[in-house]
Every structure is written in structure tokens, then in C-alpha cells.
Structure 1
Amino acid sequence: MFRLGATQAARVNGARNYATLREIEMRLKSIKNIEKITNTMKVVASTRLNRAQRAMTASRVFNESESEFYKNAEVQPDSEEGKNLLIVISSDKGLCGSVHSQVSKYTRKRVAELKNVDIVTIGEKAKTQLLRTHADNLKLSFSGVGKEAPTFLEVSLIADEIKKLGKYDNIEVLYNKFVSGVSFEPNTFSVAVAEAIEKAPGLSKYELETEGVNETLAEFSLANSIFSGMAEGYASEISARRNAMDNASKNAGDMINSFTILYNRTRQAVITNELVDIITGATALA
């Protein structure tokens, strides 16, 4: 059997170490580039979070005022045994942890609890996830959302398209509620439909003489609920993306430290092998 001499074996091992060293160096460079990207995305998300929280705070004022009005008017939701509509709010963008999967999971739970359910999705992420399990329930979807904080004009156009689907006995807006800078939770807004507003015993407290006011209030309730849900979801998404990029940067930093140590040890091993090769050759010539 052919065997390598000591000098030849040392040269082969040295070549392998050089290849490994170059691989480690390339991997280290790649991880450093990833860390730069995640750090940049974290800074961008932190900057956008302030604007998102301001938009969310403004939307909560309108939603709380509306809730107080319907509470005083004693508006009661219709029975869930009728025709139900679930409006699921997400966005088109990823890299934000479990924001989209959580609201999709919550939607599946609500579909299992209700009967005769139609689904409308706002954002491609929820649409993609719900198509796998409830494609027959999905009636309408909207894309191109989540790039900026929502505006009431944008929401009004969405609400107009939803109204074209027909009348529903119960409408719910499913969204991610912003709890804090590090947490969110799936939640629901119940939309007051025209029939429920018309039956409200406390509506006579207000001087509403205009014909069709019930339909007008129902349309505003739908648009206002979607607007609040999108504002809450947008703030939750930006916060989750900042946290995800922060964790990614920390993980990249840990990997950089590990690969730096590995690179230095491998480099030392290469140098040692070269010295052994030189000393062995010198000894053989002596």
C-alpha cells in the first residue's frame, strides 16, 4: 500500500487547514455583514415605532369614544348563529417574529367556534396562512398594507369594498393588540351592525332625526374598528420587528465571537504545522 512520508503528510494537512481557514474567514465575514443588516433594521424599526405608537394612541381616542356611545345607547350584538364575518388584520411584510402566525391561529380558533363564517384578510401574510386551512371561507383580501401607519382614507376605501359583500349579522375585527414594547396579544373588535343599532333601547337619548342614520353609524363603526385594528397591529408589528432584529444582532455577535476564536485557533494550528514541516525538513537534511 502506498503511504505518504512525514513531510508529504504534513503538507497535505497544511493544505487542508488553509482551506478550512479560508472557509472560516468567509463565514465570519458573512456573519458580520448580517449583523450590520440586522442592526440597521433594528434602528429603522426603533425610529418608526414612535410614529406607530402616536398613530395607535390617536386611533384609541376614536375607538374609546365610539365604545362609550354604543354603551350608552345599549347596543347589543346580534346572535352569532347568523351570518358572521371575520376581518383579519396583518400586513405584507415579514421578519417580525410571530405577529402574523398568532393572529392567524386566533382566527382559526374563532372559525371553529362560529358557524357560517366568511373571512376577509388585510395583508398578504394572513391570507397566505389562512389559505392553507380555510380557503373556502376567504371571500376578499387586501394587499399593499403595512408599509406605513394606516390612514382613515385608506381604511374607508377598504370598508367600502367590504360592504359590497352584503349584510352580516355579526362582524368582528381580529388584530394584534399592542400591550408593551416587548409584547402583544390577539384581540377582537366587535362591529355594530345597522340592525343592532336600530334595536338599541338607549338610542333615543340622542337626537338623531336623519333617515338612514343606522346605516351611517354602522359604516363608521366598521371603518373605525378596522382603523383601530390596523393601527394597533402596525405598532405591534414594528415592535416585534425591532425585538426580532435585536435578538438576531445578539445571536450574530455570539457567532462572531465563536468563529473568531475558531479562526484564531485554526490559524495557530496552521502556523504550528508549517513550523513542524520546516523543522522536519531541516532535520532530514542535517
Structure 2
Amino acid sequence: MAMASFRREGQRLSSMLYSHSINALKSGVSSQELAPVGARSISTQIVRNRMKSVKNIQKITKAMKMVAASKLRAIQTKAEKSRGLWQPFTALLGDYPSIDVKKNVIVTISSDKGLCGGINSTSVKMSKGFRKLNSGPDKEVKYVVLGEKAKAQLVRDSKKDIEISITELQKNPFNYTQVSVLADDILKNVEYDALRIVFNKFHSVVSFVPTVTTVLSPEVVERESETGGKLGDLDSYEIEGGETKAEVLQNLTEFQFACSP
């Protein structure tokens, strides 16, 4: 009996609520007033405005991509043309990253800004790896840092080993005059037997190849050529003019460093 009375009472309440909803709709009550507590509603005008703003952002992003692509093509063309300068020196003087010398200077090249993937961290990791490989009781390893990002990472644990730090180099497009002044400033302020230039070589828009180029000092080049080592083929070249062999090697190594990628 009790269960039957409960069922009858439930049916009566359901019919009352249904009739109340029908009457409210007929009387013009808005759907927002009938919505349950916590339900969200939004007008179609807000949706249209949001869609319009998203389309505007898409147009701006597309324009930015086109500008970036045009700048990248120009820089890529310059980089590819500049390789014709340093490749002959690599063929003449060679590139010997495994050569054993006492004074090593690691030139780490990075950017001043981030948001470029692992390019900067890769250069720093390679620089630290070369430092470990060339460390020893009778050896000296120093850093020359080009770029703010590499400086921020190397200064944490190798501050005393940083000989020169130069930042804000990418504000203006590079040309040979600026690079020559920069190279001359570095060579005048560091003593080295080998310069290990660590950088990322451009391969594609989304890919860079970590690369190390070695530039030997004129003294090491002359010593290797005289002892018939890896640079023994240099004696097969004739030197014209009034310059000595040491002066020619000095000019060649300085020019090689300035033209290095």
C-alpha cells in the first residue's frame, strides 16, 4: 500500500511540473530563465565576433609567415654563397679537430634570442664536450662566446674560463667588414694553438647540423708542415713576393678564421 501511494504521488508531481513548463513557454518566459542552475548560454553575436577575430588572426599569421620566408631565402642565399670563401682554405690548410695542442680556444656561436629549438643548447653541449676532450694537466682550454644564449649557459659553471663574450651581433646584417673586425679583435686578445669553432650549419628550415671547424695558429701550421705531419703538403707551394713563409701563414690563418662559417 505504501509503495502504491508513493507511485501515485510521484506521477502527480511529474504532471504538475510538466504543465508548469508548458504554461511558462506559452506565457513567453525566456529559455535562460528555464535553464537549470549552472548551465551556460551564449548569444550567436558573440560567436560571430569570435569567429571574425580568429579569421583576422589567421590573416596576420599568414602575412608574418610570408615575411619570414622571404627573409630566410635572402639569408640562405648569402650563406650558400659565402661557402665559396672558406672551402678553399679547408682544402689547403685542412680541418683537423683531433689534433693535439696545448692551448685550445673554443669559439661557441649562438643566437641572442631563444624560440629556435635546441640550436643554442646543442652548441653549448658540444663546446663542453670539446672542453673535456682537450683538458689535461699541461693543457689550457678557454671560451670565446658569441651570443647571449650560449653566454647564459656557459657562465653558470665555466665563468672563469670565458676569455671574451660578445653579444647583440644579430641586430644588423653581417658583412665581411664586420666579421673581419670581430675576428681581428678575437685574435688580438687570445693566445691559442687551435681555435675550435662550434656552430650549427644550415641544412633546411627545420634542420641544422652541429659542426666544428678547427683553425690552427700559424706556429702550429708551420711546425706541422716542417715535420711532415698532416700539413706537409704546404711545402709543395711556392711563395712569391717578399713575404716569408711565417708571414704568409699568418695571413692565411687569419683570413681562414674570418671566413670560417
Same fold (TM over 0.5): yes
The residue aligned with 1:178 is 202
Are residue 13 (structure 1) and residue 45 (structure 2) matched?
no
Are residue 216 (structure 1) and residue 251 (structure 2) matched?
yes
Are residue 203 (structure 1) and residue 230 (structure 2) matched?
no
Are residue 127 (structure 1) and residue 151 (structure 2) matched?
yes
Q: Any idea what the Cα deviations from partners look like across 1:174-214, whole Å, max 9, x if unmatched?
A: 11011233311210111131112323233331324414222
Residues 178 and 202 of structure 1: CA distance in aligned 2, closer, same or farther (over 3 Å) = same
What is the letter of the counterpart of residue 238 of structure 2?
Y
Residues 92 and 77 of structure 1: CA distance in aligned 2, closer, same or farther (over 3 Å) = closer
Q: Any idea what the Cα deviations from partners look like across 1:127-180, whole Å, max 9, x if unmatched?
A: 112222322221211122234542111111111221122321111111101123
Q: Any idea what the Cα deviations from partners look like across 1:98-150, whole Å, max 9, x if unmatched?
A: 22122122222222222121111111121112222322221211122234542
Higher helix share: 1
Q: Any idea what the Cα deviations from partners look like across 1:37-66, whole Å, max 9, x if unmatched?
A: 654442222111111111111211011111
- Could you tell me how far apart the structure 2 residues matched to 1:33 and 1:137 are? 50
Higher relative contact order (CA 8 A, sep 6+): 1
Secondary structure at the aligned position of 1:154 is classed as helix
Matches within 5 A, 1:232-271: none
- Could you tell me how far apart the structure 2 residues matched to 1:224 and 1:45 are? 26
User: Contact between 1:173 and 1:188, CA under 8 Å: does it hold in 2?
Assistant: yes
- Could you tell me how far apart the structure 2 residues matched to 1:63 and 1:87 are? 17
TM-score, scaled relative to structure 2: 0.69
TM-score, scaled relative to structure 1: 0.64
Instruction: Give the superposed CA RMSD.
Output: 3.3
What is the letter of the counterpart of residue 56 of structure 1?
A
Aligned residue pairs: how many? 216
Matches within 5 A, 1:63-82: 63-71=86-94, 79-82=99-102
Residues 82 and 43 of structure 1: CA distance in aligned 2, closer, same or farther (over 3 Å) = same
Structure 2 gap ranges (5+): 1-20, 22-31, 226-231
Matches within 5 A, 1:63-102: 63-71=86-94, 79-102=99-122
User: Percent identity at matched positions?
Assistant: 33
What is the letter of the counterpart of residue 147 of structure 2?
G
The residue aligned with 1:282 is none
- Could you tell me how far apart the structure 1 residues matched to 2:143 and 2:157 are? 12
Q: Answer with 1 or 2: which has the greater Rg.
A: 2
Secondary structure at the aligned position of 1:129 is classed as helix
